[in-house]
Amino acid sequence: MDGHLLRFNKKARYCFVDVETFNLCLNMEFNEPWQYGMVELVGDDIVNTKELIVKWPKRDGVVCSPEAARINHYDEVRVDKEGVSPEEAFEVIDAMFSKADYIVGHNILGFDIYLIRDHYKAVGKPWKQLMPKILDTKALVTGIKENYKYDGKEDLLTFQYKLANTPRRGIKTSLITCLRDYDIPFDPDKLHDAVYDIEKNAEVWNKMKYEIDI
């Protein structure tokens, strides 16, 4: 038995993260991460759930479009009322990432990490130390569906980037698809809320980790 695999490690600490933003731009020149959903797992169990609403200084041309607001439940009134400064949010985010053995997200390598990186840069803090911790469930489920196994010989991040950045015809890997594939109940009306998405992603991970040898 491969006892070193994550599926058997009940002490592994994970920080799942999902970021909701104004649009799909991959940098903060035209975009902002306004909501973080974060869930801490130890082994299989959720031990902490955190939502952060970030109130960034207003900038000309950087606004949440009506369509994006409809999809990700953006509410400017709520942000003005509940939002914390980027610096205050960073302290919480960095503390949770620092405690974690792994930082997990669905398509984190394709999207979230770019905005997280720019958040770190905006408050003058280094970010590259996060990269070796990353597990991208979208990339990993692509490997599962293509029977492309991790052999442990190459860097895990490199392995995931190969899966994330190579076009895959006919392979469906959205979070909704994963929830359906693993028979996990979900409310489609709640998707694209960062906290709800990341809680569901944690459920996906708890099933998919039995199909990958990492």
Q: Which CATH number fits domain 6-211: 3.20.20.120, 3.20.20.240, 3.30.420.10, 3.90.1170.50?
A: 3.30.420.10
Residue 17 backbone dihedrals phi, psi, to 5 degrees: -140, 140
Mean pLDDT of 175-182: 95
* Residue 194 in this model has a pLDDT that exceeds 90: no
**What share of the chain in percent tops pLDDT 90?**
76
For the ranges 27-31, 86-90, 141-145, 165-169, the maximum mean pLDDT occurs at 86-90
3-state SS, one letter per residue, for the chain: CCCCCHHHCCCCEEEEEEEEECCCCCCCCCCCEEEEEEEEEECCEEEEEEEEEECCCCCCCCCCCHHHHHHHCCCHHHHHHHCECHHHHHHHHHHHHHHCCEEEECCHHHHHHHHHHHHHHHCCCCCHHHHHHEEEHHHHHHHHHHCCCCCCCCCHHHHHHHHHHCCCCCCCCCHHHHHHHCCCCCCHHHCCCHHHHHHHHHHHHHHHHHHCCC
Report domain extents, the chain: 6-211
Of 41-50, 145-154, 171-180, the one with minimum mean pLDDT is 145-154
Mean pLDDT of 160-183: 90
Q: What is the pLDDT of residues 68-115, one digit of tens each?
A: 888 888 999 999 999 999 999 999 999 999 999 999 999 999 999 999
Q: What span, in angstroms and rounded, lies between the C-alpha atoms of 109 and 14?
A: 16
Q: What is the pLDDT of residues 36-63, one digit of tens each?
A: 999 999 999 999 999 999 999 999 889 8
* Residue 168 in this model has a pLDDT that exceeds 80: no
* Residue 64 in this model has a pLDDT that exceeds 50: yes
The answer to whether 77 and 36 are in contact (CB under 8 A) is: no
Q: Which of 33, 6, 46 is nearest to 203 (CA)?
A: 46
pLDDT category at 12 given cuts 50, 70, 90 is very high
Q: What letters, b where the CB count within 10 A reaches 16 and e where it falls short, cover 157-168?
A: bebbbebbeeee
pTM, two decimals, is 0.93
The answer to whether 72 and 35 are in contact (CB under 8 A) is: yes
| Structure confidence at residue 1 (pLDDT) | 41
* Residue 174 in this model has a pLDDT that exceeds 90: yes
Which residues lie below 8 Å from residue 12, measured CB to CB, with a gap of 6+?
Answer: 6, 42, 43, 101, 102
